[in-house]
Amino acid sequence: MKSGGVKTEISRGSLNRYRIEVARIGQWLTRLPFIPIICLLPLFVFGIFGPLLYLHDPHAPNLLIAMQSPAWMAGGNWAYPLGTDQVGRDLLTRLIEGARSSLIVAIFGVLFSGLLGIFLGILAGFAGGKTDNFIMRIVDTFMAIPQIFLMLIIAAALRRAGILGLTPIIIAIAISMWVPYARMVRGETLSLKQREFVALARVTGCSSRRIMLKHIFPGVINIIVVMATTQLGGAIMAEAGMSFLGVGVQPPNTAWGLMISESNKYITSGAWWIPTFAGILITITILGSNLLGDWLRDALDPRTRQAMKKIKRN
Amino acid sequence: MRRYILTRILLGVITLIGVSIIVFVAARLSGDVARLMAPANASQEVLEAFRAKYGLDQPIPIQYFIFVRDALRGDFGTSIAFNRPVMEIVMGRIPATMELGFASFILGNLLGILLGIVSAIKRGTWLDWGSTTFSLFGQAIPGFWLAIMLMLIFSVTLHWLPTSGIGGIKHLILPVIATSWFTTAFVLRVTRSSMLDVLDSEYVKLARLKGNSEYKVIFKHALRNALIPVVTMAGMQLAMLIGGLAFTETVFSWPGIGILMVTSINALDYPMIQAITLIVSASVVLINLFVDLLFVVIDPRIKYE
C-alpha cells in the first residue's frame, strides 16, 4: 500500500513535470516569430528543395507561349500558375531556381563577412592603440565608398580575372559587408575588456589569444547572431542589386534580381508579373530577416526580456 | 579645439588615401592594367607605348604615386568607353545627379524626420503603427524594384508621368520617390527611437513641469537633441543615397554619374570607375567633416581633445 502510494506520487510528479514541459513547449511555440519565419520560407524551401519543385524545365524556352499571363487572368493557363517570361519559360519554376543562388550567396556572404568583421572587431577592441587606430581607419575608408559601388568594382574585377560562378559575388559581399560587424564587435569588446573576468583571466596567465577566443568571443556571440540574421537580408539585397546591374548571377543561370532586370525591357508591353513576383520575393525575404533579427535581439537580450516580462505583468 | 579640427581634417585625408588605394588595387585585381585601359584591339607596340605613357612599366609603388599625383591634378586619364578625358565626362554628368540627389536628400530627411516625430509623440496609435510599418517596408524593398513598380503603375498603366529621361518636375517625381524612399524609412527609424529616448529624459520632464506648451517642449527642447543622431549619420546617408542613385538612374535612364558608374563597370572602364569612386567618397568625407565641425559650433557638451 505504502510503496504503491509512493509510486503514484512519483508518477503524478512526472506527469506534472511532463505537463509543465508540454506547456513550456506550447508557450515557446506561441512565442516563435511566425511572420518572419513565413517570410523566409520561400528562400529556404525553394533554395534547398529547388529541383524537386520544378513544374517545367527552367532553361527550356518556348516562344509560342512567351509572356503568358498568370493563370487567373485572361489568357492564363494553370499549367503555368504565375505565367511565363519573355522567352516562354515557366515563371514559378524560374523563381524557384533563382532562390538557390540567392541562398548560397547570402549564407556564404554572411559567413565570410561575419568572420572578417568579428576578427577585426575583437582585434581592434582588445589590442587598442595603434592596431585599433589602423583598423578603424580601414573602417572609415570602407564607409566612405557606397557599398554597392565597392561590390560592383570587386565583382566585375574578379569576373574579368576569370573567376566564374557565384564566387565573385560572395567575395564582393564579404569584402563590402564586414564593417558593421567590426564596429559593433569592437564596441562590445571594449566594454567586455573592462570586466573583472577578463582581468582575472589575465592574472591567471592566459595569453591574449586565449582571452580573445575563450573570454571575449562568447560574450559577443549574441550580438553577432542578431547582426548576422539582419545581414542575411542585406546580402540578399546586395546579390539582387548586383544581378540587376549585370555583375551578379549570369545567364543562363538566374536570380530574382536578374529576372527583374531581364524583364525590364518588356514592362512597357504590360508584362507586369515577371518583375512583380520576383520583387515580392526579394522584399519579403529581406523583411523576414529584418524582423527575425529584431525578434532575436529582444529574445537574446536579458534586459529586454526582463522589460517584456514587466510589461506583461502590468 | 583647433587641434580637434586639424585631427578631423587629417582623418578625412587618411580616409581618402585609403579609398585611392582600394580603387588602385581594384583595377589591378583583374590582371594587366594596360590591357584594361588601352583600346580593346591594341597591338603589342601600342600596349608598350601605353605602359610607358602612363608609367605602367614602373614598380607598383611608383605607379600608385603617379596615379595619386595625376588624380590630385584632376587628371584621371582617358575613358576607354568614351575615348575622351574622364573628368570632362564626369563633370558633365554631375548637375543631373546633384538635381536628383539633392531633391531626394531633402525630401527623405524632411519626411523621415516629420514622420519620426509624429510616430514618437503619438506612440502606440495607428499613426505610429503606420509609420513603423512604412519604415519596415522601406528598408526591405529594393530601390530598383520600387522604381520599376512606380514606372509600371504611373507611367505604363496610368500614363501620368514619363518613363525616363530628364526634364521638368514631371520627370523628377518618380526618380525622387524611388531614391528617397529608403532615406525616409531610415531617417524615420532613427528619429523615432532617438525622440522616444529624449522625451523620456529628465530635462524634457523639467521643461514640461515649467509649464511650457507641448509644442514648445517638443520643437524647442526635445527635437534639437533628438536630431543629433540623424545629423551624425548624414555622411553615411549620403553614401547610401548615391549608391541608391546607381539603381534609380539606371531604371529611369537619368543621365547622372550613377548610371555612368554602372555602364563603366560593365564596360570595365577603369579610369572612369576610379574617378567616380574617388569623387563620391570625397563628397562623403567632406559631409562627415562638415558635420563634425558643425557639432563644434552647436553642441556644447562635446569636449575636444
Residue B84 lies in a domain: no
Q: Do A156 and B266 touch (CB under 8 A)?
A: yes
Position A191 scores a pLDDT of 85
Which residues 41-60 of B have a C-beta within 8 angstroms of A? none
Residue B77 lies in a domain: no
For residue A171, is pLDDT > 90? yes
What residues in B contact A261, CB-CB < 8 Å?
A: 144
Residue B82 lies in a domain: no
Q: What is the mean pLDDT of chain B?
A: 84
Could you tell me if B124 and B221 lie in one domain? yes
Backbone angles phi, psi at A90, to 5 degrees: -65, 125
Last residue of a domain, one of B72, B105, B125: B72
Give the type of residue at A267.
I
Instruction: Locate the chain B residue with the closest alpha carbon to A265.
Output: B251
What residues in A contact B272, CB-CB < 8 Å?
A: none
A48 vs B44: which has the higher pLDDT: A48
Nearest to B257 by CA among B95, B14, B115, B39: B95
For residue A83, is pLDDT > 80? no
Measured over the CA atoms of residue A33, residue A117, residue B187 and residue B200, the dihedral's sign is positive
Report d(CA A159, CA B289) in Å as an integer: 36
Residue B78 lies in a domain: no
Report d(CA B280, CA B288) in Å as an integer: 13
Q: What is the pLDDT of residues B72-91, one digit of tens each?
A: 888 887 787 788 888 889 99
For residue B206, is pLDDT > 70? yes
Range of the domain at B55: 2-72
Task: Please state the separation of Cα B244 from the chain's center in Å.
Answer: 8
Residue B79 lies in a domain: no
Which residues 220-239 of A have a C-beta within 8 angstroms of B? 233, 237
Which residues 159-178 of A have a C-beta within 8 angstroms of B? 160-161
Could you tell me if B239 and B272 lie in one domain? yes
A73 vs B104: which has the higher pLDDT: B104
Residue B205 lies in a domain: yes
Position A5 scores a pLDDT of 53
3-state secondary structure of A90: strand
Residue B63 at interface with chain A, using a CB cutoff of 8 Å: no
Q: What is the pLDDT of residues A149-163, one digit of tens each?
A: 999 999 988 888 778
Backbone angles phi, psi at A84, to 5 degrees: -125, 165
Determine contact, residues A182/B280, Cβ cutoff 8 Å. Answer: no
Determine contact, residues A32/A287, Cβ cutoff 8 Å. Answer: no
Q: Do A144 and B145 touch (CB under 8 A)?
A: no
Residue B219 at interface with chain A, using a CB cutoff of 8 Å: no
Q: What is the pLDDT of residues A201-213, one digit of tens each?
A: 888 888 888 888 8
Interface A-B: count of C-beta contacts within 8 A: 151
A241 → closest Cβ in B27, B247, B285:
B247
For residue A7, is pLDDT > 60? no
Determine contact, residues A152/A145, Cβ cutoff 8 Å. Answer: no
Average pLDDT over residues A277-289: 91
Could you tell me if B65 and B99 lie in one domain? no
Report the CATH number that the domain containing residue B194 is assigned in CATH: 1.10.3720.10
Average pLDDT over residues A246-273: 82
> How many domains would you assign to chain B?
2
CA distances, B211 to each of A167, B208, B214 (Å): 63, 5, 9
For residue B224, is pLDDT > 70? yes
3-state secondary structure of B193: helix
Residue of A145, A147, A243 for testing the chain B interface, max B β-carbons within 10 Å: A145
For residue B54, is pLDDT > 80? no
Q: Do A286 and B16 touch (CB under 8 A)?
A: no
Could you tell me if B234 and B106 lie in one domain? yes
Residue B239 at interface with chain A, using a CB cutoff of 8 Å: yes
Instruction: Locate the chain A residue with the closest alpha carbon to B278.
Output: A145
Residue B145 lies in a domain: yes
What residues in A contact B14, CB-CB < 8 Å?
A: 137, 140
Residue of B7, B10, B20, B30 for testing the chain A interface, max A β-carbons within 10 Å: B30
Last residue of a domain, one of B72, B98, B115: B72
Residue B81 lies in a domain: no
ipTM computed for the complex: 0.87
Could you tell me if B206 and B119 lie in one domain? yes
pLDDT-derived band at B221 (thresholds 50, 70, 90) equals confident
Choose from A2-6, B32-36, B100-104, B125-129 the range with maximum mean pLDDT. Answer: B100-104
Residue B37 at interface with chain A, using a CB cutoff of 8 Å: no
A205 vs A279: which has the higher pLDDT: A279
Q: Do A147 and B240 touch (CB under 8 A)?
A: yes
- What number of other Cβ atoms are within 10 A of residue B60's Cβ? 11
Average pLDDT over residues B250-270: 88
